[in-house]
Amino acid sequence: MSTPAAAAQRRPGDWRRTHTCGALRLSDAGATVTLNGWVHARRDHGGIYFVDLRDRYGLTQVVLDEKLASSVRFSAEYVLSVTGTVKARDAQNRNAERATGEIEVVAARVEVLSASPNPPFEVSDDIDTALETRLRYRWLDLRRPLLQKNLLHRSRFINAIRRSFERQGFAEIETPILTKATPEGARDYLVPARVHPGKFYALPQSPQIFKQLLMVAGMDRYFQVARCFRDEDLRADRQPEFTQLDMEMSFVEEEDVFACWERVLSETFAECMGLQIKTPFKRLHYDEAQQRYGSDKPDTRFGLELKALDAWARQCEFNVFKSVTAQAGGRVMGISVPADLAAQISRKDLDTELTDHAKSFGAKGLAWWRPAADGGAGPLAKFAAGEQGLALRAALGAKDGDLCLFAAGPQAQVLRVLGELRNLLGRKFGLAKASGIAWDFLWVTGFPMFLRNEENGRWESAHHPFTAPADWNFRADDDAALGKLESRAYDLVMNGWELGSGSIRIHREEVQQRVFGLLGIGPDEQREKFGFLLEALAHGAPPHGGFAVGLDRLTALTAGLDNIREITAFPKTASAADLMCQAPSRVADAQLAEVHVARAGKGLEEGA
Partner RNA sequence: GGGGACGUAGCUCAAUCGGUUAGAGUACCGGCCUGUCACGCCGGUGGUUGCGGGUUCGAGUCCCGUCGUCCUCGCCA
Instruction: Give the interface with RNA as residue ranges (CB under 7 A).
Output: 41-48, 50, 52, 61, 63, 75-76, 89-90, 92-95, 97-98, 101, 104, 118, 120-122, 127-133, 135, 182, 184-187, 205-206, 208, 230, 232-236, 238, 360-361, 460-465, 563, 565, 573-575, 577, 579
Amino acid (one-letter) located at 531: G
Exposed / middle / buried, residue 117 (Cβ in 10 Å: 0-12, 13-18, 19+): exposed
393 vs 553, beta carbon nearer RNA = 553
End-to-end CA distance of the chain: 52
CA distances from 239 to 168, 229, 430, 503, 590 (A): 30, 9, 28, 24, 31
Q: How far is the CB of 78 from RNA (least distance, A)?
A: 10
User: Partners of 486 in the beta sheet?
Assistant: 448
User: How many CA within 13 A on the CB side of residue 292?
Assistant: 14
The answer to whether 575 touches 249, Cβ cutoff 8 Å, is no
Q: How far is the CB of 529 from RNA (least distance, A)?
A: 11
3 vs 92, beta carbon nearer RNA = 92
330 vs 362, beta carbon nearer RNA = 362
18 vs 206, beta carbon nearer RNA = 206
Q: How far is the CB of 73 from RNA (least distance, A)?
A: 8
Which ranges of 431-497 does DSSP label H, i.e. alpha helix?
431-434, 479-484
375 vs 419, beta carbon nearer RNA = 419
Q: How far is the CB of 81 from RNA (least distance, A)?
A: 20
Q: What angle do CA 49, 55, 61 make, to 5 degrees?
A: 25
Q: How far is the CB of 538 from RNA (least distance, A)?
A: 21
Exposed / middle / buried, residue 265 (Cβ in 10 Å: 0-12, 13-18, 19+): buried
83 vs 244, beta carbon nearer RNA = 244
Q: How far is the CB of 429 from RNA (least distance, A)?
A: 19
175 vs 336, beta carbon nearer RNA = 175
The rounded distance, in Å, linking the Cα atoms of 503 and 247 is: 11
Write out the E strands in 89-205. 103-114, 171-172, 190-192, 200-202
The answer to whether 515 touches 506, Cβ cutoff 8 Å, is yes
The rounded distance, in Å, linking the Cα atoms of 103 and 90 is: 9
Q: How far is the CB of 432 from RNA (least distance, A)?
A: 17
The rounded distance, in Å, linking the Cα atoms of 245 and 253 is: 19
User: Partners of 39 in the beta sheet?
Assistant: 53
The rounded distance, in Å, linking the Cα atoms of 482 and 517 is: 13
The rounded distance, in Å, linking the Cα atoms of 608 and 606 is: 6
The rounded distance, in Å, linking the Cα atoms of 203 and 231 is: 10
The rounded distance, in Å, linking the Cα atoms of 129 and 122 is: 9
98 vs 283, beta carbon nearer RNA = 98
Q: How far is the CB of 305 from RNA (least distance, A)?
A: 21
Q: How far is the CB of 364 from RNA (least distance, A)?
A: 14
Show Cβ contacts of residue 470 under 8 Å, excluding neighbours closer than 6 positions: 446, 449, 485, 486, 487, 488
Q: How far is the CB of 266 from RNA (least distance, A)?
A: 27
The rounded distance, in Å, linking the Cα atoms of 417 and 407 is: 7
234 vs 485, beta carbon nearer RNA = 234
Q: Which long-range contacts (CB under 8 A, 24 or more apart) does 454-458 make?
A: 458/519, 458/520
Q: How far is the CB of 326 from RNA (least distance, A)?
A: 26
Q: How far is the CB of 510 from RNA (least distance, A)?
A: 20
User: At 418, which helix (H) or strand (E)?
Assistant: helix 411-428
87 vs 263, beta carbon nearer RNA = 87
122 vs 353, beta carbon nearer RNA = 122
71 vs 92, beta carbon nearer RNA = 92
